[in-house]
Amino acid sequence: MKRHHFSFLLFIIHLPILAFCSERKVYIVYLGQHDGSQSKNEIEDYHLSHLSSIKAIDVEGARSSLLYSYKNSFNGYAAVLTPDEASRLSELDEVVSVIRSDPRKYSMHTTRSWEFLGLEGEKGSWNSNKMSGGLLQKAKYGRGVTVGILDSGVWPESKSFSDRGMRPVPKSWRGICQTGQEFDSSHCNRKLVGARYYLKGYENYYGPLNTTLDYRSPRDKDGHGTHTASTVGGRRVANVSALGGVARGTAFGGAPLVHLAIYKACWAIPGVSKVQGNTCFEEDMLAAMDDAIGDGVDVISISIGTVRPMPYAQDGIALGAFHAAKSNIVVACSAGNNGPAPGTLSNLAPWIITIGASTVDRTFVAPVELGNGMLIEGQSVTPYSSNKMYPLIYAGDALAPNVSKGDSGQCLPNSLNPKKVRGKIVLCIRGNGTRVGKGMEVKRAGGAGFILGNGPANGAELTCDSHVLPATAVTHYDAARIYDYIRSTDSPTVRIAPARTALYTKPAPVMAAFTSRGPNIIDPNILKPDITAPGVNILAAWSEADSPTKLESDPRIVEYNFESGTSMACPHVAATAALLRAIHKKWSTAAIRSALMTTAFQSDNMGKPITDAAGALATPFALGAGHLMPQRAADPGLVYDASYSDYAAYLCSLGINDPSFQCPNEQIVSSNLNYPSLQISRLNGTFTVTRTVTNVGGKHNSCYFSHVKPPTGFLVTIRPSLLVFDHVGQKRSFTITVKVRDNMVKRIIGDEYAFGWYGWNDGIHNVNSPMAISLA
């Protein structure tokens, strides 16, 4: 017996190893930066000869395994290699790193929001215009700035992308409008100034694109790319709404006159529903980012990430963004939707703006009335006209005979018994399966509607979806009350009232339960996320080649749709960065990030500290420096600046050495990066960091006083406590010393982080930064 067992084990262990050794995969060979002395042809020849030398084949042979030769800023290439070839390449001096492409490593992080942010003047319930005047006017609505969108493409016919009245394409623009399936140069205009697509990595893995699944062109068959692009730079379109007229109003992007450049690098996965996933290969994304840098964008918005964060040298987005920073291009990325568990952030590099998601002050109220008269506040955007009582059933009591009790109540595909469900309203619980898929299952089984109850993990957060039948969403607490009612009577009944839009909901913002949380697990001495922005129930343009639920069985077509995710938060920050770029042409990307962060708000529209989805106080691990406040960001007073060489020196300290960059003798570790926030992990006794602020306020003479709210158990001192400036552009340095107050602290916080705030105030500007400290 034992021997058999043993040989069986050997068999299963050996097979994958053998397969792995001979398996040819795509690898990205990263060689640092281009020195600018070679032409594009010379670069490709160099990459080919590099490749042919390691493969010991001629250049023509090498050409067949070369997918991309990156020529603009990022020096490197993507090629099909064996693990042995990749390993030999990684040992060469000129090679900075070799990244193995992984098919499912990256995916997309699936109009009230701007008014809520105060960009719309008086209408914003929470505006602070008085302080710095109309940002949009000052930034001329983003005129002259170009934002690159790395995503699933664009639906160019959307009214949001009209170029009526726009200025001509900037002369410096070098992008193209790439022709493809149902897309040609006529689809670009002064709004959509560029459109390209990248799928060599995708096709190398999945084979030729199935053109029923996706367009072989920049055209969007998903909706996500159209949504994010229109959130950044959509034109003002009056009287739009999602299905059934819910949330009717004017849709517009944050920077309505920016130019948009579309880089499609995310595609549908064969055999996988669009609701469940999509994929973005990093060799394709790197080609997109390298082109965006070459084309001359000012900002790149990337609502894409990994589930597990990667070290910088193995993270295509981080490396591409590093080169963008070198060209002074701001890169905004979503933090990920893997919250509320700690340590779930992606896109952690310090040259990236990492963006979490929170709610806005608009809800779509669709109350539920139970047969016993109890009223429950649900939320919905699904059109619904009937106003009568229906029988109510819990999905766990309506299972098909062949379905195990294990998943009961979740309305998973093919789990319901039509005999029990027909004509009734069904209570389904979140957990496994997609929200829209649950509605589809109730519809399949003949239900009249459904109530989507949150599970314990979702708490009180309500996401509105364009369900395929009448529906309303309720909190976990309310789902339990409805369940108790069903158990209390033999013939439960329910009425769902049609949804109406409620504005100025309080409290708002509240952190989204799904938003990924710190701590940063790549560098525990950099606080991430950086900032939070609206990412729940965001209305924006949609692809007319996809249904609002993304379900294939859903035949509906919409021009505008609701989506939730850090994907939706990211373009809000990208747009604001574009407005700042329009006003402050010379600012570095670090200065723009600093301005966004230090002017962010930490309190909600009730004047209380922003809370987390579960009701507790939101910490900087959810919130970053706070909630985006565009109006304030244009006039931050002081900025924490940093340059590309600081980042390059920081990479040197991690052993990632660009051969053309002279690493400094002194190590630049993360605590020296002049970041606009502070994280110290495993503090033992006392630690001091130096920070430098630059005066960018309008006044020459100004005088800033420091303020500190130390984390419980710590002493924090800022020296000097007063900074005097006599001209704009002047820099002043100060130190922050953090000291453990007493030995009891360890017993209280254990291995957790404690949070505090510090900053500067001159009577006009409040320059706030969060801090997070843990003990050794």
Ligand X SMILES: *[C@@H]1O[C@H](CO)[C@@H](O)[C@H](O)[C@H]1NC(C)=O
CB 361, CB 605: distance < 8 Å: yes
Q: Which is nearer to ligand X, 352 or 539 (CB)?
A: 539
Contacting ligand X within 200-219 (CB under 6 A): 210, 212-213
Does 652 contact ligand X by CB under 6 A? no
DSSP β-bridge partners for residue 539:
562
Q: Distance between CA atoms of 282 and 105, rounded to whole angstroms?
A: 8
**Sign of the alpha-carbon dihedral angle for 234, 240, 241, 243:** negative
Q: Which is nearer to ligand X, 189 or 543 (CB)?
A: 543
Does 414 contact ligand X by CB under 6 A? yes
Does 64 contact ligand X by CB under 6 A? no
DSSP β-bridge partners for residue 695:
638
Which residues contact residue 634 at a Cβ distance below 8 angstroms, ignoring those fewer than 6 apart? 132, 135, 138, 139, 579, 580, 583, 584, 595
Interaction mask 225-244, ligand X, x per CB under 6 A = --------------x-----
Q: Return the range that interacts with ligand X (CB under 6 A); candidates 322-330, 333-341, 402-410, 708-716.
A: 402-410
Does 403 contact ligand X by CB under 6 A? yes
Instruction: Determine which residue in the list 313, 374, 389, 400 makes contact with ligand X, applying CB under 6 A.
Output: 400
Cβ neighbour number for residue 533 with a 10 Å cutoff? 34
Interaction mask 680-709, ligand X, x per CB under 6 A = ----xx------------------------
Chain position whose Cβ is nearest to ligand X: 431
Instruction: For the CB of residue 223, give the shortest distance to ligand X in the complex, in Å.
Output: 17
Cα of 366 vs its chain's centroid, Å: 29
- What SS3 state is found at 567? helix
Instruction: For the CB of residue 707, give the shortest distance to ligand X in the complex, in Å.
Output: 30
Instruction: For the CB of residue 497, give the shortest distance to ligand X in the complex, in Å.
Output: 21
Contacting ligand X within 747-776 (CB under 6 A): 776
Q: Return the range that interacts with ligand X (CB under 6 A); candidates 125-133, 250-258, 395-403, 603-611.
A: 395-403
Instruction: For the CB of residue 692, give the shortest distance to ligand X in the complex, in Å.
Output: 28
Is 224 among the catalytic positions?
A: yes
Q: Which is nearer to ligand X, 87 or 414 (CB)?
A: 414
| 80: amino acid identity, one letter | V
Is 408 among the catalytic positions?
A: no
The pair of structure tokens assigned to 363 is 């809800």
Q: Residue 770, exposed/middle/buried by CB under 10 A (0-12, 13-18, 19+)?
A: buried
- In angstroms and rounded to an integer, the radius of gyration of the C-alpha atoms of the chain is 27
Which residues contact residue 418 at a Cβ distance below 8 angstroms, ignoring those fewer than 6 apart? 444, 445, 446
Residue that the structure tokens 């409805």 belong to: 482
From the list 567, 588, 677, 774, the catalytic residue is 567
Q: Distance between CA atoms of 214 and 202, rounded to whole angstroms?
A: 12
Give the ranges where 498-626 is alpha helix by DSSP (H): 566-583, 589-598, 620-623
From the list 34, 151, 546, 658, the catalytic residue is 151
Instruction: For the CB of residue 364, give the shortest distance to ligand X in the complex, in Å.
Output: 17
Q: Return the range that interacts with ligand X (CB under 6 A); candidates 287-295, 396-404, 521-529, 596-604.
A: 396-404
Q: Which is nearer to ligand X, 246 or 321 (CB)?
A: 246
Q: Distance between CA atoms of 222 and 550, rounded to whole angstroms?
A: 7
Q: Which is nearer to ligand X, 33 or 337 (CB)?
A: 337
Q: Distance between CA atoms of 92 and 26, rounded to whole angstroms?
A: 18
Is 567 among the catalytic positions?
A: yes
Q: Which is nearer to ligand X, 349 or 773 (CB)?
A: 773
Instruction: For the CB of residue 685, give the shortest distance to ligand X in the complex, in Å.
Output: 6
The pair of structure tokens assigned to 117 is 């942010």
Q: Which is nearer to ligand X, 210 or 721 (CB)?
A: 210
Q: Write out the H or E segment, with its range, that includes residue 5.
A: helix 2-22
From the list 34, 50, 109, 224, the catalytic residue is 224
Instruction: For the CB of residue 428, give the shortest distance to ligand X in the complex, in Å.
Output: 12
Instruction: For the CB of residue 42, give the shortest distance to ligand X in the complex, in Å.
Output: 40
Q: 620 preceded by cis ω (within 30°)? A: no
Does 432 contact ligand X by CB under 6 A? yes
Q: Which is nearer to ligand X, 403 or 654 (CB)?
A: 403
Question: Of how many residues is the chain composed?
Answer: 776
Q: How many residues bind ligand X (CB under 6 A)?
A: 14
Q: Return the range that interacts with ligand X (CB under 6 A); candidates 42-50, 325-333, 399-407, 656-664.
A: 399-407
Characterize 3-21 residue by residue with b for buried, 16 or more Cβ atoms within 10 angstroms of its Cβ, and e for exposed: eeeeeeeeeeeeeeeeeee
Which residues contact residue 203 at a Cβ distance below 8 angstroms, ignoring those fewer than 6 apart? 209
- What SS3 state is found at 579? helix
Instruction: For the CB of residue 481, give the shortest distance to ligand X in the complex, in Å.
Output: 20
Does 743 contact ligand X by CB under 6 A? no
Q: Which is nearer to ligand X, 372 or 432 (CB)?
A: 432
Contacting ligand X within 559-588 (CB under 6 A): none
Q: What is the contact surface with ligand X in residues (CB under 6 A)?
A: 210, 212-213, 239, 400, 402-403, 407, 414, 431-432, 684-685, 776
Active site residues: 151, 224, 567
